[in-house]
Structures are given as structure tokens and as C-alpha cells.
Amino acid sequence: MHRLPSQTAVTRFRLASLLLLAACVSALSAVGVLGYSMYEQDKFLMIIGVALLCTTLILVIFQLLVASRARCPLCLTPALASKGCSKHRSARRLLGSYRFRVAASILANGHFRCPYCGEPTAIEVRPRRAHEA
Ligand SMILES: [Zn+2]
């Protein structure tokens, strides 16, 4: 199993995963609140729904920024960003998304399998070799 080169990379992967799931939850709740506010004709709920939509937009932008620099240590492809590259033949999805599977695996198990090269990576810093120290 591969490991990440630095603590910064570990933080990037965890943050990008959290932001991806938070953006998804925020988008779903925004749709729910907006739908309910239209059904109830409630302007206050509608303002909350629009605020949730803005929050979702901000979360998505931050996620794109963080995820674009969280690269797989083997193939150097950002595993949490949506690229047009072809996926590994054994790559699998969660809820129709390769990124969700990577994010859920990072948060739940502490490791992920890159959807592009298919190699497993632990979310921990690789030990330094003696001549590098
Ligand atoms: Zn990879």
C-alpha cells in the first residue's frame, strides 16, 4: 500500500473528502428547504434555502481548489477531482460517483483506492529513508 509524501498531503485529502461530503449534504438540504418553502409559501424558509445554496457554491469552490492539489502518490492524478481521464477497470462507484467512493473510504477507513491507477493508498505519511533525514 502506498503512502503520502507529507502531512500537508494527508490534510489535503481529509479536507477535500470532508468538503465533498459537506457540499453534497448542503446541496440536498438546500433543495429540500427550497422545495418546502415553495410548498408553504414561506419567505423566511426561502431565504434560508438560498443561503444554503450559496454555502453549497462556496463549499464546491473550496473543494475544487483543495482536491486539485490532492494527488495520488503513484499516478499523480487528483483522485478527488473530476477529471475526464479513463478509470481503472476495477474502479467502482458509490452513489454513482467515483469521487464519493474515494471520499467515503478516506473518512471511514483511512485509505483509498485510486480510481485512475487502481492502487491502494493509506492516508498516512510515508516514513523517511535514512539518507533523506
Ligand atoms: Zn493513482
Sign of the torsion formed by the C-alpha atoms of 114, 1, 13 and 130: negative
Every domain of the chain and the residues it spans? 2-125
How far, in Å, from the CA of 49 to the mean position of ligand 1?
37
Ligand 1 midpoint to CA 70 (Å):
11
C-alpha 74 to ligand 1 mean position (Å) = 5
Q: Residue 52: pLDDT band by 50, 70, 90 thresholds?
A: very high
C-alpha 29 to ligand 1 mean position (Å):
32
pLDDT digits (tens, 9 = 90+) for 98-115: 899 999 999 999 999 999
Express each pLDDT in 73-102 by its tens digit. 988 989 888 888 888 898 888 888 889 999
Q: What is the pTM of this model?
A: 0.85
Set of cell numbers at residue 35:
422545495
Cα of 24 from ligand 1 centre, angstroms: 24
Q: How confident is the model at residue 11 (pLDDT cuts 50, 70, 90)?
A: very high
Give the three cell numbers for residue 52: 444554503
Residue 129 predicted with pLDDT over 90: no
